[in-house]
A and B are shown apart, each in its own frame.
Chain A
């Protein structure tokens, strides 16, 4: 009877995971395809429902933070930008406590959030957060040197900084190519973060 009980448990667990994976995959698609604020708010609400249903699932919380950062780039009002970035911070803090969280992806997203903070007010936040961004991206790359998102975002930030310092960032092309290759090899069907290819395209336009 005991074995049957445990078998049932395993069955239930795997079944519920399959359900959530099936339901979650289209939401991730929606995140990647969202083109404007209203679509982002729509997908944000779907993510919130997942989090309430399964608070221990890191991926929904992770994508919620990502969507909030995206919203902060898109909404025009400064107070609204602040609101979304503050929500993203809460989600990132929640993620830190979850065991399953991919720490390399977490630090990459932390860096992106700080980048969004700088974008919202370069004069004040530039000097305040540049050091922390560099630390976040290098921590992400230390945990997984082949994280394409960490590679491209860190490259872009270093390139921006070099430009600001009237210098050139020598490894730029090499790093962009590396990121592009890593994105190309990424398994798009797996339930792991897959966003970020757009930053490579953005980098190629910059050079």
Chain B
């Protein structure tokens, strides 16, 4: 007991004596450019002795601490600075702050990339933003068509970016490849995204010169991220002009499980609003998906997603000569399974591992002519692992390995003729990126992707260099990069030795973003070579081409209260000799001018958000066999005014309505020609147009659980 008493006495004595001597600490705080920093918090580590800097960057405080001091400086956006200050030098201090890792990693603007997720959650494009964009009809891919660089190919619905073909754009979910991201439809009926936009919280859309981490995307990459946590337990359902769906999420302490079931049937819609197509069995889609998220500890996430859907329809098609009909019957099964693991270790390593499996199984009756059958089964396994670590303020490294195992088999049967084909192959790659923060305004990224494609036994090195410079909030960025991709399976099946298709991209841009205003302008030049080319007698890799253009984008959410506008314009010149284009010509999907103006207006008095989008594209090239040359003609321009209205009927009921092409313009995408002896020039000319002038969507979203409201997402 004596000892304890002594200890207490000593302790108090120490405290009293220490409070006796006051010492002054003073100095100033600067950043790397020697600009004075206001409101920086300067204090002695482990105590509350300290002060904040004034408008000239000066601080001054007193302390009772003795001996050498450990000073800490903290300021938002800067890394915490810790310095040892000797007893004799407590005044006239000059402390320099450096940007923190979050700032270093986030403020970088990279050409070609639309980080719709943005910094933190403030620039995040949510499902609500997507569905309230008129013309999106609730679909992710349709809503992306309001961004620059995306070409208006109305009859397809797929993404055609900057003069590139749609198969040059790849979709990734949580870093893992998706083999068939689009729904299966009939001829000239636009596809939609297979996955609900409500599943994703991050959307990174690269319209050019994207990260070399993503494989097999010659033009562009759409990287989607699902939620890491879904903290709300909820149940919801919806009914619309195209079907019904329902589902919900059960949240647990360390994770959550979401389930969604969806049934679409176009029969009721077509019975009320008939279209130009003839349906025996209208489009039907049954789908189910589920995601399990598990957060074993704050730095780790394990996610597993599984989605299944089955599409069926029978469409009556008329032969080009108008003499016979056939019942084109589609059965399509699609499975996507994706499991990922992410962990941030205490030493700052970010570790990622993932596996994905995609399967497409398609059976078509009367595919080309009456009584034939076509079958295709395609699957892919994608395995990927990577690690990221910031080593110093100057350097961050990112490296990984991935492997794709692919299989595709087709079978065509007509009377006694059976023709089958198949390919099995794999792609292996090693990728690495070094990110240099040269100073807080200048950033460089040097990367390479070494890829081996087994089918043609080819090695490729895809280097990429990106530079970004920030001049008082105006960002300049330039990228040069090489990209490769295997030719489409239909060509590989005919010639397994086709080379990997190559694209070199040069992108430069200027960006400015401040207080809800975004301005960006980009220019690009792309050269293509080793493209698959179907010459009269041989299929080879002698195809080539180029594409160049300018993209402009303005977005302002601060102009008028409750009002937002988005203006995108793209100019593109693209020429190719590839596939069936045996002469250098502009491909059928490429348009020179594309523009879209999208506005949204919230009307609190009506509890509504009104959206109007006008999209314009100049005419599409097409081939007229009565004239000389190929791709020798141009269709009329495309224009569509779309409208959407989101109405909060009550806090548990949301009604969403949209209508396309309000002006009823008949947009012609292409013309097809068939031999017709009765016609003076020997051809019958048929326009490729939308199946109906308008598309109407009305949906009602109901929240059934008690704890949440205004929520249309089941995930």
Q: Specify which chain A residues have a CB less than 8 angstroms from the CB of B391 in the assembled complex.
A: none
User: DSSP class of A's interface residues: helix, strand, loop or mixed?
Assistant: helix
Contact digits for A31-57, partner B, Cβ 8 Å, 1 yes 0 no:
000000000011011101110110000
Nearest-neighbour CB distance to chain A for B583, whole angstroms, equals 49
Nearest-neighbour CB distance to chain A for B168, whole angstroms, equals 32
Query: Contact between A135 and B514 (Cβ–Cβ < 8 Å)?
Result: no
With A53-B46, A128-B126: A79-B4 Cβ-Cβ less than 8 Å: no
Nearest-neighbour CB distance to chain B for A154, whole angstroms, equals 12
Query: Contact between A23 and B7 (Cβ–Cβ < 8 Å)?
Result: no
Query: Contact between B52 and A42 (Cβ–Cβ < 8 Å)?
Result: yes
**Is A87's beta carbon under 8 Å from chain B?**
yes
A182 CA to B516 CA, complexed, in Å: 40
Query: Contact between A52 and B43 (Cβ–Cβ < 8 Å)?
Result: yes
Query: Contact between A49 and B607 (Cβ–Cβ < 8 Å)?
Result: no
Nearest-neighbour CB distance to chain A for B40, whole angstroms, equals 9
Query: Contact between B46 and A52 (Cβ–Cβ < 8 Å)?
Result: yes
Nearest-neighbour CB distance to chain A for B123, whole angstroms, equals 9
Nearest residue (CB) in B for A50 is B48
A-B contact pairs, 23 of them (CB 8 A): A41-B39, A45-B39, A45-B74, A49-B72, A52-B45, A52-B74, A82-B120, A96-B298, A97-B298, A123-B564, A123-B602, A123-B609, A127-B132, A127-B609, A128-B126, A128-B128, A131-B234, A131-B703, A131-B709, A131-B711, A164-B648, A165-B648, A165-B650
Tell me how many residue pairs across A and B have CB atoms closer than 8 Å.
122
A77 CA to B514 CA, complexed, in Å: 10
**Is B50's beta carbon under 8 Å from chain A?**
yes
Query: Contact between A48 and B41 (Cβ–Cβ < 8 Å)?
Result: yes
Nearest residue (CB) in A for B40 is A45
Q: Specify which chain A residues have a CB less than 8 angstroms from the CB of B650 in the assembled complex.
A: 165
A139 CA to B234 CA, complexed, in Å: 13
**Residues of chain A from 105 to 139 with CB closer than 8 A to chain B in the complex:** 121-124, 126-128, 130-132, 134-135, 138-139
Q: Specify which chain A residues have a CB less than 8 angstroms from the CB of B120 in the assembled complex.
A: 82, 86, 89
A134 CA to B609 CA, complexed, in Å: 21
Interface contacts beyond A52-B46, A86-B122, A123-B564: sample of 5 additional A-B pairs, CB < 8 Å, sorted by A: A7-B4, A23-B48, A49-B72, A53-B45, A165-B650
Contact pick for B122, options A27, A48, A82, A127, CB 8 Å: A82
Question: Which 10 pairs across A and B sit closest by C-beta, in order of nearness?
Answer: A131-B711, A45-B41, A130-B710, A131-B708, A86-B120, A135-B232, A78-B515, A49-B43, A49-B48, A82-B122
- Chain B CB count within 10 A is highest, among A82, A124, A130, A132, for A124
Nearest residue (CB) in B for A94 is B298
Give chain B's interface residues, CB within 8 Å of chain A.
3-4, 7-8, 11, 39, 41, 43, 45-52, 72, 74, 76-77, 119-122, 126, 128-129, 132, 231-232, 234, 298, 514-516, 557-558, 562, 564, 600, 602, 604, 607, 609, 646, 648, 650-651, 703, 706-711
Nearest-neighbour CB distance to chain A for B6, whole angstroms, equals 11
**Is A8's beta carbon under 8 Å from chain B?**
yes
Query: Contact between A79 and B128 (Cβ–Cβ < 8 Å)?
Result: no
Nearest residue (CB) in B for A37 is B39
**Is A166's beta carbon under 8 Å from chain B?**
yes
Nearest-neighbour CB distance to chain A for B610, whole angstroms, equals 12
Contact pick for B557, options A27, A50, A96, A123, CB 8 Å: A123
Query: Contact between B46 and A139 (Cβ–Cβ < 8 Å)?
Result: no
Nearest-neighbour CB distance to chain A for B593, whole angstroms, equals 30
With A52-B43, A97-B298: A164-B607 Cβ-Cβ less than 8 Å: yes
Q: Specify which chain B residues have a CB less than 8 angstroms from the CB of A45 in the assembled complex.
A: 39, 41, 43, 50-52, 74
Contact pick for A93, options B74, B298, B515, CB 8 Å: B298
Query: Contact between B515 and A8 (Cβ–Cβ < 8 Å)?
Result: no
Query: Contact between A4 and B298 (Cβ–Cβ < 8 Å)?
Result: no
Q: Specify which chain B residues have a CB less than 8 angstroms from the CB of A161 in the assembled complex.
A: 651, 709
**Residues of chain A from 1 to 33 with CB closer than 8 A to chain B in the complex:** 4, 7-8, 11, 15, 23, 27
- Chain B CB count within 10 A is highest, among A42, A52, A138, for A52
Query: Contact between B707 and A134 (Cβ–Cβ < 8 Å)?
Result: yes
A135 CA to B338 CA, complexed, in Å: 29
**Is A83's beta carbon under 8 Å from chain B?**
yes
Q: Specify which chain B residues have a CB less than 8 angstroms from the CB of A121 in the assembled complex.
A: 516, 557
Contact digits for A138-156, partner B, Cβ 8 Å, 1 yes 0 no:
1100000000000000000
Query: Contact between B74 and A48 (Cβ–Cβ < 8 Å)?
Result: yes
Q: Specify which chain B residues have a CB less than 8 angstroms from the CB of A11 in the assembled complex.
A: 4, 7-8
With A8-B4, A49-B48, A87-B76: A135-B515 Cβ-Cβ less than 8 Å: no
A134 CA to B52 CA, complexed, in Å: 37
Nearest residue (CB) in B for A26 is B48
Contact pick for B515, options A41, A48, A79, CB 8 Å: A79
Q: Specify which chain B residues have a CB less than 8 angstroms from the CB of A52 in the assembled complex.
A: 43, 45-46, 72, 74
Query: Contact between A41 and B52 (Cβ–Cβ < 8 Å)?
Result: yes
Nearest-neighbour CB distance to chain B for A157, whole angstroms, equals 10
Nearest residue (CB) in B for A38 is B39
A160 CA to B689 CA, complexed, in Å: 48
Contact digits for A72-102, partner B, Cβ 8 Å, 1 yes 0 no:
0000011100111111010001001100000
- Chain B CB count within 10 A is highest, among A27, A97, A127, A138, for A127
Nearest residue (CB) in A for B48 is A49
Nearest-neighbour CB distance to chain A for B513, whole angstroms, equals 9
Nearest-neighbour CB distance to chain B for A186, whole angstroms, equals 26
Q: Specify which chain A residues have a CB less than 8 angstroms from the CB of B4 in the assembled complex.
A: 4, 7-8, 11
A96 CA to B121 CA, complexed, in Å: 19
Nearest-neighbour CB distance to chain A for B124, whole angstroms, equals 8
Nearest-neighbour CB distance to chain B for A69, whole angstroms, equals 14
Nearest-neighbour CB distance to chain B for A139, whole angstroms, equals 7
Q: Specify which chain B residues have a CB less than 8 angstroms from the CB of A48 in the assembled complex.
A: 41, 43, 74
Nearest residue (CB) in A for B1 is A4
Nearest residue (CB) in B for A130 is B710
A161 CA to B609 CA, complexed, in Å: 16
Contact pick for B76, options A42, A83, A123, A126, CB 8 Å: A83
A142 CA to B708 CA, complexed, in Å: 14
A165 CA to B703 CA, complexed, in Å: 16
